Structure 1
Amino acid sequence: MTGAERRPVLDVRGFSLKFSNAADVPNVVDNVSFPVHAGETLCMVGESGCGKSVTSLALMGLLASPPARRVAGTAHFEGADLFALTERELADIRGNRMSMIFQEPMTSLNPAYTIGEQIGESIRRHRGVKRAQAREEALEMLRLVHIPAPEARLDAFPHQLSGGMRQRVMIAMALANRPRLLIADEPTTALDVTIQAQVLSLVRNLQAETGTAMLLITHDLGVVAEVADHVAVMYAGRIVEYGTVADLFDDPQHPYTIGLMGAIPSVGKRAGSLATIRGSVPSPEQMPRGCRFAPRCPFAEQRCIDAAPPDRTLSGEHRVACWLAPVEQLVKPAQQKELT
């Protein structure tokens, strides 16, 4: 495969963001870099408050500025830097070549308009087709996402649909213009397990058909194992570990990643209790000076407290931001069970 073919659809490098003009206030998102390639899924995983959704909203140009302020970095989408585009140029891309499935479909859909009107609006805005044609294409999208009785649902309002169907509508709307990049922010959080599996299967199938690149934001490692090609583990605004899904599940190297893996419930018999990670994600005003995970890390040394660790490439695409990596020699059996 040539270098041109492997050029990512989205390439984020050194992105930093803060919500303050004060120089001494830490960045909410700090020096974040990752690529997303055509036909592949990058899962961004971490606890609530780690900066995943803020990153996605910044990429879509949906953060109010002020207070949001980009401090550094670039985000090239098909060669164009998203952060250098005018609002009009970004509006032409958003919902067209780059789309987003938001976390809560009930608050993301407009209750005053029918499903057909909302899907059709995006089609008309970006492709300039007539209302009748937009309606036909909206109907086809509802069929594509397996909405039952799509002709009737086309004229339904959001409150008349179940949570699972509203989420399918959001997927139909996001894919209506065949985007090159799809950002999905916790797309299955409010769904029961059966509907969640159906939605994930639907997204994977549509992605395979269209070659769409996907950035999937989640805290569910089960979802990651199911759909990811690559994984970026985010903690307190920084990517602490990045690699293929096999890298992360077979050989996690950051203590935070190890803690997340240890907290996954298993179906079979389990020896001992689930792992826990003491403490909580720090607020933006209380970010530690060095490694942001140091106050919660069972292996932290003085250098972890004093300075932020650099990214280290372990093998291939696998990289980690930890002074102590590789960590195999540090993790004792008892500590593997309980990261406290």
Structure 2
Amino acid sequence: MTTEPLLQVTGLGIRIDGTERDLVSDLTFTLNKGETLCIVGESGCGKSLTALALMGLLATPPLRVTGGTADFRGRDLLTLPAAEMRRLRGDRIGMIFQEPMTSLNPALKVGDQIAEAVRRHTGKSEAEARAHALEMLRRVRIPAPETRLDVYPHNLSGGMRQRVMIAMALANAPDLVLADEPTTALDVTIQAQVLELMRGLQRDTGTAMILITHDLGMVAEMADMVAVMYAGQMVETGSAAAIFDDPQHPYTIGLMSSMPGLDGDGDRLVTIPGVVPPAREMPGGCRFAARCPFADAQCAKVPPTLPVAGDVSHRVACWKAPLDAQVAA
């Protein structure tokens, strides 16, 4: 990992037509080469929308980018022409989608799907691309890759399909991979295998990764940096050590407190009351205020920003910070 910025997102906004407030609002972060940034939050917080916007895959209409920049090696991903974005996707930027059964083409053999990305972006012959696809299946540790190369996605288990997605995303040694819930619907053993595989491939290739998840255990294993999102806004960001050792936003503290411990004392898990507000009902102040035990009139009216909390890399958008996590829990 280096400190050389690879992707700098500034002020990203995403809105659905017919609404007055952004689904994703003023999102700003920096990802360095070889680094893993985990974006964490409940479903409906805008994590996947952010990834789709960066990949140029938003369903427009009704979704549209309302502002901001995403500088990737001197090019703004949010304003690139479609043809140029297609040249980047699958080559310099890869994506591991949430559900491989719906992301893989059921009518094409898995080897052909990997080889297609190789041929499109590298100009290799059909035989060379097939050989490369076979090598990628070996690298993601699929048993009997020579046989699996010519099967259809429905012939593979969920874990195997996810390995195929990883092979596709990394086939052209991209600089950046976006992984959207890459272990969803996999059992715990297969999850651990997939995560270890991703870590190993990342070490080998130096690829930077944005990992989207609501699984804090995965964040603890994978993250260099963490961005906590709530209702389309970043509410806390910092190094993984800072976030886990000293969470400051009431939402982050709530997420941490809802994790089961290893002591087996049988106590009830802490829950966060309420739900993420829908797009048409976003409050004008802090979006977490209605669910926050510390909120007051200022929180309900004035949206907080992301000032520095502690060291310069740990920032929290909360009028009540710093908070004692033990008391808050």
Classify the TM-score, shorter chain. Answer: over 0.9
Is 1:15 matched up with 2:15?
no
State the AA in 1 paired with 2:320: L
State the distance in 2 between where 1:270 and 1:168 align.
Answer: 37
Provide the aligned length of Structure 1 versus Structure 2. Answer: 328
2:184 to 183, 189, 192: 189
Structure 1 residue 269: Cα displacement: 2.8
Aligned-partner Cα distance in 2 for 1:73–1:142: 38
Give the residue type in structure 2 aligned to 1:175: L
* Separation in structure 2 between the aligned mates of residue 240 and residue 280 of structure 1, nearest angstrom: 16
Q: Does 1:43 align with 2:32?
A: no
The equivalent of 1:200 in structure 2 is 195
CA shift for structure 1 position 21: 5.2
Secondary structure, aligned partner of 1:9 = strand
2:242 aligns to what SS in structure 1? helix
Match of 1:228 in 2: 223
**SS of 1:84's equivalent?**
coil
Give 1:248 shift: 0.5
Match of 1:250 in 2: 245
2:113 counterpart of 1:118: yes
CA deviations 1:195-230 (Å, max 9, x no partner) are 100000000010011110000000000000001000
- For 2:57 and 2:7, the matched residues in 1 are separated by 17
Asked if residue 161 in structure 1 is aligned to residue 156 in structure 2, the reply is yes
1:52 is aligned to 2:47: yes
Runs of 4+ residues over 3 Å off in structure 1: none
| Aligned partner letter, 1:195 | I
Q: Name the TM-score, length of structure 1 as normaliser.
A: 0.94
The one-letter amino acid of 1:8's match is P
Per the alignment, residue 268 of structure 1 pairs with: 263
**TM-score, length-scaled by structure 2:** 0.97
Distance, in Å, in 1 between the alignment partners of 2:120 and 2:67 is: 32
Tell me the distance in 2 between the aligned counterparts of 1:46 and 1:165. Answer: 27
Partner Cα distance (1:85, 1:138) in 2: 29
Match of 2:303 in 1: 308
Alignment of 1:129-144 (within 5 A): 129-144=124-139
- Give the whole-Å Cα distance in 2 for the aligned partners of 1:65 and 1:264: 37
Match of 2:319 in 1: 323
Q: Secondary structure at the match of 2:78?
A: helix
Aligned residue for 1:237?
A: 232
Partner of 2:196, secondary structure, is helix
Counterpart AA for 1:97: R
- Matched AA of 1:30: S
Q: Deviation per CA, 1:229-271, whole angstroms, max 9, x where unpaired?
A: 0000000000000000011000000000000000011222337
Q: CA-atom RMSD, angstroms?
A: 1.3
Task: Deviation per CA, 1:308-334: give whole Å up to 9, x if none.
Answer: 001111112000000111112xx674x
Give unmatched runs, 5+ long, in structure 1. none
Separation (CA, whole Å) in 2 of partners of 1:91 and 1:332:
48
- The correspondence for 2:291, drawn from 287, 296, 299, is 296
The residue matched to 2:83 in structure 1 has which SS?
Answer: helix
Report the AA paired with residue 318 of structure 1.
H
